[in-house]
Structure 1
Amino acid sequence: MELRQIEAYLDSPNPQERMRAITELRHYAPEVVVPLLRRRMSDKEFIIRSFVAIGLGRKQTEEAFEALLDLLEYDTDSNVRAEAANSLAKYGESAIPHLLKLFERDSNWLVRQSILASVEGNEYPDGLLKLCRWGVEGNNREVKLAAIANLGQLQGTPQESEALAVLLSLANADDGEIRAQVARVLSSFDEPRAKAALLDLRYDSDYRVVGATLEGLV
């Protein structure tokens, strides 16, 4: 699609045409795309703003980075903020401090899940450990489960011992699903404390926990 047509579609009252325009922008250079994407950052349709966030992650410029920070700060829809967080993570190390601050201030489970999924433990182990600590201290079960799972990424990193300590502190959690998740992750740690805790969990009163301890043996 020619750029003139894309610009016309971006201003169309039809959201399908606006989405098509944003999709077509993938064929153009960042210096052309980013200013056009910014025009739709306040679109009334959250799906359009989500498409904008995705596009800003693909066309990486300083202007796009700042635009993503604006979406994270001001957009009221958690779906948009989650997409913006995922896109921001594509910028690498420069994004990590912003993602940590966002996780602290934004308690929405979808946003936090997106951040946890986008930070790689082998590249940013210290940042991931902080996210996981905050995740397990929060009130949302799904975020807790994701944080526990991500602690497994820290095996073999300088943060391995601290990650294991967090896991061991959750081995006696009241929630059986939490204990089961801990058991799954502990099986990846080749360390005496992990093996001892895993053996204790094998005799747990919850069948889900027992089953989780056996998964690594299959």
Structure 2
Amino acid sequence: MTEASPQPDLGALRDAIASGDPVRAMPALTQLRFCEAEDAVPLLVLGTEQKPFLVRSLSCSGLGYKRTEQGWDVLSRLLGSDEDPNVRAEAANALASYGVERSWPLLQATFTADGAWLVRCSILSALAEQPEIKLIWLLELAQAAITDGDGTVRVSGAEILGRIVRDGINKPIGAEARALLQPLQQDVDHRVVAAALNGLQVS
């Protein structure tokens, strides 16, 4: 540790996080970035057990950076059970950071089961940001996203289809994505139309 970032007082951080008061807990959770995973994860898990959703959400984010098996288990449970979509969305984002091969089955199932637009958009963006994700997986998600009742989710789906058109140019999967984009030019949401037109501009 450098003098600029001394080892935080774990006891004081635990007390602040356990208070459940966001004004005290949020800065304490932020301080955990200076700690080793073995010290930080138990306190992040404690944060996921607090009542304010902001505290649980930030704790999930931290578990995406301090990755351990305990963190994975806690995030997986919260993804399927937390009452607040903000927390579930942050859990999804954190799980993706454990690697696309591992997180894909869980996030795919959650995308199907969880109708909250925030959760769905988080899954779409988190997986799309993974450079090693397979285009066929992205196509599967995008196909589901463009049928969503929420325009924001459909926009994300259209943007992913546009990426598949670009990355899969001169391949069957690129043509399939292009075919899915065509009808979106008539979507009721102008944002979806714009995303579709943008995706179709690839020659």
Q: What residue number does 2:178 align with? A: 164
Percent identical across equivalent pairs?
A: 35
Separation of aligned partners in 1, 2:23 and 2:182:
50
Q: Which amino acid aligns with 2:139?
A: L
Separation of aligned partners in 1, 2:111 and 2:19:
35
Tell me whether 78-87 or 9-18 shows the greater mean CA deviation: 9-18
Q: Which runs of 4+ in 1 moved over 6 A?
A: none
Q: Once the 2 structures are TM-superposed, how far is the Cα of residue 139 of structure 1 from its aligned partner?
A: 1.0
Q: Across the two proteins, how many residue pairs are aligned to each other? A: 189
Point out where structure 2 has 5 or more consecutive residues left out of the alignment. Answer: 1-7
Separation of aligned partners in 1, 2:65 and 2:177:
32
CA distance 1:25–1:186, shift in 2 (3 Å): same
Select which of 103, 106, 115 maps to 1:98. 106
How big is each residue's C-alpha offset from its partner over 1:45-92, in whole Å with a ceiling of 9 and x where there is no partner? Answer: 000000111011010111111111111011000111111111111111
Separation of aligned partners in 2, 1:106 and 1:144:
15
Residue pairs, 1:147-162, within 5 angstroms: 147-154=157-164, 155-157=166-168, 159-162=173-176
Q: What residue number does 1:112 align with? A: 120
Select which of 141, 145, 155 maps to 1:135. 145
Q: Which amino acid aligns with 2:201?
A: S
Separation of aligned partners in 2, 1:143 and 1:13:
32
TM-score (norm 1): 0.80
Select which of 180, 185, 192 maps to 1:178. 192
Q: Once the 2 structures are TM-superposed, how far is the Cα of residue 15 of structure 1 from its aligned partner?
A: 2.4
Q: Which amino acid aligns with 1:156?
A: D
Q: What residue number does 1:187 align with? A: 201
> Bigger radius of gyration, 1 or 2?
1
TM-score (norm 2): 0.85
Q: Once the 2 structures are TM-superposed, how far is the Cα of residue 138 of structure 1 from its aligned partner?
A: 1.4
What RMSD, in angstroms, separates the aligned Cα atoms of the two structures?
1.8
Q: Does 1:9 align with 2:16?
A: yes
